[in-house]
Chains A and B, each alone.
Chain A
Amino acid sequence: MSEGKQQYGKGLDVGTVNLVAAEQNESGDVVLRLKRNAFIDVPVDAYTKNMLTRLKVPYVVQGKKMYVLGDHAFELANVLNRNTRRPMKDGLISPKETDALPVMKLLIGSILGEPRVKDEVCFYSVPGDPIDSELSVVYHKDLFDAVLRALGYKPSHIIEGHAIVFAELAEEDFTGIGISCGGGMFNICVAYKSMPALFFSTSRGGDWIDNNVANVLGVKPAKASMIKEKGVDLMKPKNREEDAIAIYYRNLVNYTLNNIKERFLAAENMPSFPEPISIVFSGGTSMAGNFIELVRAVYKEMEFPIPIKEIRMASDPLNATAKGALTAALLETAQAAG
């Protein structure tokens, strides 16, 4: 990093489950802030407002409703045995949660803070076009552009899979495959020398696993999520619940790799990779036990059209998207400065 001059620009990972903001401080360190992308409605009264403020629990009042935001919403939901509400579903802004839009602005504002300079560039992650749903990314982009402008930033966006490439494949000339395994979606990007050659998303993510496991086991999705997050060895499941989780994980990985293969073969003007490349996984859903081993096992059983030298986990799986978005923002700032 160039010494002396502060580089401005911020990255924002807009995930279904978590929001992560990244910025670079004066020392050149990457500073990360994370907040749960969730809220829960609570009774509106002065007593509740005072108590929440004293406890440093963020809330917002919208009309006749009051919402607790972020991680505290998740904790409160667990205490009250209720579900949180999510502004986003399957990787995109939820059309059902119209109340959630101002909430999103507050959540994002709380982790981004004020812009450090006028019109500071902020790159936010967007999913690639989903191949298995009719959901449109356009409305999602329009909304987040508006949110960031309202917060005083100059918004721009980066495909989520591409952000993984920026964060994790610098040593390999930004050539390889970046896969972000989110709660709502998997985002895939095949890049060649930092340029995205192929990118798309699938509407199957951690939530899809939770819902299917819950279905077969006859439990609530939150329970399935808890079992998953408690720790499961996907290569050596120990009981019926872990079996179900492993089966759906394997199905999901198979689905993802096959889609990459089919899309790559069907697309025109794909680069030919003279050297084998790496596949890097990131995101909370990829942090299950022995996930990479599972991917390697599935990969061995198929004929992949691109030569692969390594399948690995990102060095920072939960924050790779935000870091990649930050890299994009810093690059744009540097290029604009000439």
Chain B
Amino acid sequence: MPDQPFDVRKAIDQSASKSTLQELAKKGIHRVKVLDEAMIQKLIRDAVENILSARGGSLSTDERERVVKQSRQELDRLVKEFSQDKATLSTRESDLRAEFAQRERDYNKRIQDEIQKNAEMSQKMATSLESSRTHEDELVKKMEVLFTKSLEGLNKKLTDLRLRSMAGGPMGGGGLEAVELRPSQATIESLFSQELESNVKAMEKAEGKVGGKLGSALDRLKNLRGGGAPKKDDEEKK
């Protein structure tokens, strides 16, 4: 029999297997028996006392009580140690959870910030693209107008040249613009003011021939040019 005290904790660790509630549930174990510390101590005490009783009178009452007391102290120490460990672990767990939560919040915030920044940059880029496209469109339109005007001018000149060349071309040349001689009214009237010797007036006015009638031409023209109600035949045709 060894002389060192009996390590209950070690004994429980060594002999027990750990399992989660979920695993137990998977195994179909939905109800477990739970022993608390007092119960374990009682069991150990009972066990020790049973053993001591079973061994008979080899141990005196004092020796028996000393064994029980030592056992109890050992158990207390183990339980206390376990409780401390448990508390420490629990605190550590809380700390870790808090830290995790904080980190998660931090990360989320950073992600949101990044998303926001990206959105703002996209918006700026879109605005800038739109503005440069509009500016480009305006430039293109201006250039189109300029080109069209100069093409029209060129076309007119070419058409004029073509028509002139097709028509046989103008007579004369020279770089100077033609000066149109336009006599004054007095000059022209003087050409006809002179009374000439003639037998024309003495003769009867030439016999005219009848060339039909104008028909409805004059009335139609009046209607088109304004002034005059439409004729009945026009209304009927409508």
Contact B172 A134 (CB under 8 A): yes
Binds B, one of A31-39, A230-238, A280-288, A296-304: A31-39
Residue-by-residue, is B219-232 near A (CB-CB < 8 Å gives 1, otherwise 0)?
A: 11110110100000
Contact B199 A323 (CB under 8 A): no
Contact B218 A58 (CB under 8 A): no
Contact A142 B205 (CB under 8 A): no
Partner of B180, one of A62, A138, A262, A323: A138
Contact A110 B206 (CB under 8 A): yes
Partner of A30, one of B171, B181, B214: B214
The answer to the question of B194 belonging to the interface, with a C-beta cut-off of 8 Å to chain A, is yes
Contact B170 A61 (CB under 8 A): no
The answer to the question of B166 belonging to the interface, with a C-beta cut-off of 8 Å to chain A, is yes
In the complex, the chain B residue whose C-beta lies closest to that of A142 is B188
Binds B, one of A118-126, A181-189, A330-338: A330-338
Residue-by-residue, is A174-195 near B (CB-CB < 8 Å gives 1, otherwise 0)?
A: 1000000000000000000110
The answer to the question of A78 belonging to the interface, with a C-beta cut-off of 8 Å to chain B, is no
Residues of A within 8 A of B203 (CB): 56, 58, 110
In the complex, the chain A residue whose C-beta lies closest to that of B219 is A1
Residue-by-residue, is B186-216 near A (CB-CB < 8 Å gives 1, otherwise 0)?
A: 0011011110111111110111111111111
B207 → chain A, closest Cβ, in Å? 8
In the complex, the chain A residue whose C-beta lies closest to that of B201 is A109
Contact B181 A139 (CB under 8 A): yes
Given contacts A62-B196, A102-B194, A266-B159, are A30 and B213 in contact (CB under 8 A)? Answer: yes
Partner of B221, one of A24, A147, A174: A174
Residues of A within 8 A of B163 (CB): 131, 259, 262-263, 266
Partner of A22, one of B192, B201, B211, B221: B211
Given contacts A102-B192, A146-B188, A170-B215, are A32 and B209 in contact (CB under 8 A)? Answer: yes
Residues of A within 8 A of B200 (CB): 58-60, 69, 106, 109-110
Residues of B within 8 A of A22 (CB): 211
Q: What is the size category of the interface that chain B forms with chain A? A: 35 or more
Given contacts A60-B200, A142-B188, A266-B159, are A31 and B167 in contact (CB under 8 A)? Answer: no
In the complex, the chain B residue whose C-beta lies closest to that of A330 is B218
A87 → chain B, closest Cβ, in Å? 12
Residues of A within 8 A of B199 (CB): 49, 52-53, 58-59
In the complex, the chain A residue whose C-beta lies closest to that of B180 is A136
Contact A334 B182 (CB under 8 A): no
Contact A133 B205 (CB under 8 A): no
Partner of B182, one of A102, A109, A142: A142
The answer to the question of B25 belonging to the interface, with a C-beta cut-off of 8 Å to chain A, is no
Contact A143 B188 (CB under 8 A): yes
The answer to the question of B57 belonging to the interface, with a C-beta cut-off of 8 Å to chain A, is no
Q: What is the size category of the interface that chain A forms with chain B? A: 35 or more
B140 → chain A, closest Cβ, in Å? 26
A1 → chain B, closest Cβ, in Å? 7
| Bound CA–CA A327/B215 (angstroms) | 10
Chain A residues 231-290 with CB under 8 Å of chain B are 258-259, 262-263, 266
Contact A174 B183 (CB under 8 A): no
| Bound CA–CA A62/B191 (angstroms) | 12
| Bound CA–CA A62/B195 (angstroms) | 9
Contact B216 A132 (CB under 8 A): no
Residues of B within 8 A of A133 (CB): 170-171
Partner of A316, one of B205, B211, B221: B211
The answer to the question of B12 belonging to the interface, with a C-beta cut-off of 8 Å to chain A, is no
The answer to the question of B185 belonging to the interface, with a C-beta cut-off of 8 Å to chain A, is yes
Contact A150 B189 (CB under 8 A): yes
Partner of A113, one of B171, B196, B205, B215: B205
Partner of A29, one of B162, B185, B189, B212: B212
Partner of A132, one of B168, B178, B182, B225: B168
Partner of B214, one of A138, A150, A330, A335: A330
| Bound CA–CA A29/B221 (angstroms) | 18
Residues of A within 8 A of B194 (CB): 102
The answer to the question of A101 belonging to the interface, with a C-beta cut-off of 8 Å to chain B, is yes
| Bound CA–CA A53/B198 (angstroms) | 10
The answer to the question of B217 belonging to the interface, with a C-beta cut-off of 8 Å to chain A, is yes
Contact A53 B202 (CB under 8 A): yes
Residues of B within 8 A of A149 (CB): 189
Residues of A within 8 A of B166 (CB): 258-259, 262
Contact B220 A173 (CB under 8 A): yes
| Bound CA–CA A52/B200 (angstroms) | 11
Given contacts A30-B211, A146-B185, A330-B218, are A193 and B224 in contact (CB under 8 A)? Answer: yes
A146 → chain B, closest Cβ, in Å? 4
Contact B218 A173 (CB under 8 A): no
In the complex, the chain A residue whose C-beta lies closest to that of B227 is A335
Top 3 nearest A-B pairs by Cβ distance? Answer: A132-B167, A170-B217, A31-B208
Supply 16 A–B pairs (Cβ within 8 Å), ascending by A: A1-B214, A21-B208, A30-B213, A33-B205, A106-B198, A110-B200, A138-B182, A142-B183, A142-B185, A146-B188, A149-B189, A150-B192, A202-B167, A331-B218, A331-B225, A334-B222
Q: A32-B210, A33-B207, A33-B209 are in contact. List 10 more A-B contacts (CB 8 A).
A: A1-B213, A31-B211, A58-B203, A59-B198, A61-B198, A143-B191, A174-B220, A174-B221, A263-B163, A331-B218
